[in-house]
Each structure stands twice: as structure tokens, then as C-alpha cells.
């Protein structure tokens, strides 16, 4: 899953490509099991609702990612819910850290929220089990 920029009157904005009915793997993130931050985005209320209920996950819960290389089992570390529509530039930078590379291996799942709208984001951060 990728993105493109769009020129606005004064600034540029980033538009993410839709993952459709599946969870989309962010092309600039690390591959699962290869170290670093493996980021997946998915819809919660349209096109298959692959991440419906992501906001209800709890720390210490289990999540697995399966790809051609195998399965990576993780334990959820935290679930962040944050407002997305009226953020300042500095607040946006803080939340963009969910997409950033990491020194240690982790899995990040992202979706919009609540079910009846898209004013917030949910980010689930999980670490591989030993």
C-alpha cells in the first residue's frame, strides 16, 4: 500500500491509497519478521471491515501476521486512539511516528474510528513473542 501527495492552495497533503477489502501492507515499512516496524492499514466500516473492532483489542492480547515467509506471532503492547481531523502540524508529527521505522521489531495496525465515522484513528502496536 502506498501514497501520493496532492498540491493544495498553500500546502501539500498526503493521500493514502485504499487497501480495499484487505489489510494493506505499507510499502515503506519493514517486512513482518525482518526487524523494524511492519505497518498494516485497513478499513473498519467499509469494504470488508477487516479491522472492525480494532479499538476493542486489549494490551497483552495475541495477534498473528501470516505471509509467504511464515507466521509472526505478537503480543499487543498498546492500543492508541487519537483524534485525526483537527490536529496541529506538531500533533500530526507525533502521530506519524506510528508509520516510522523502529530499531526493534514491531507490528502496527492502523484504522479509522469510530464505526459511525472517521474522526479518529486507532493504532495497535504489538511486539513479537519470543
Rounded CA separation 25/93 (Å) = 21
Rounded CA separation 76/108 (Å) = 9
pLDDT tens readout for residues 21-43: 878 788 888 888 888 999 988 88
Three-class SS state of 86: coil
pLDDT surpasses 90 at 127: yes
Per-residue model confidence (pLDDT) at position 104: 92
Task: State the average pLDDT for the chain.
Answer: 84
Three-class SS state of 6: strand
Task: Give, in words, the CATH class of 19-128.
Answer: mainly beta
pLDDT surpasses 80 at 119: yes
Domain ranges of the chain: 19-128
Where residue 108 falls among pLDDT bands split at 50, 70, 90?
A: very high
Per-residue model confidence (pLDDT) at position 94: 82
Amino acid at each position: 500500500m502506498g501514497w501520493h501527495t496532492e498540491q493544495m492552495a498553500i500546502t501539500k497533503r498526503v493521500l493514502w491509497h485504499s487497501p480495499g477489502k484487505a489489510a494493506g501492507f505499507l510499502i515503506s515499512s519493514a517486512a513482518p519478521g525482518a526487524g523494524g516496524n511492519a505497518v498494516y492499514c485497513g478499513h473498519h466500516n467499509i469494504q470488508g471491515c477487516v479491522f472492525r473492532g480494532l479499538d476493542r483489542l486489549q494490551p497483552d492480547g495475541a495477534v498473528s501476521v501470516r505471509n509467504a515467509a511464515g507466521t509472526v506471532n505478537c503480543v499487543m503492547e498498546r492500543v492508541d486512539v487519537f483524534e485525526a481531523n483537527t490536529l496541529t502540524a506538531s500533533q500530526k508529527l507525533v502521530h506519524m511516528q506510528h508509520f516510522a521505522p523502529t530499531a526493534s521489531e514491531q507490528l502496527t495496525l492502523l484504522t479509522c474510528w469510530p464505526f459511525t465515522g472517521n474522526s479518529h484513528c486507532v493504532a495497535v502496536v504489538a511486539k513479537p513473542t519470543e
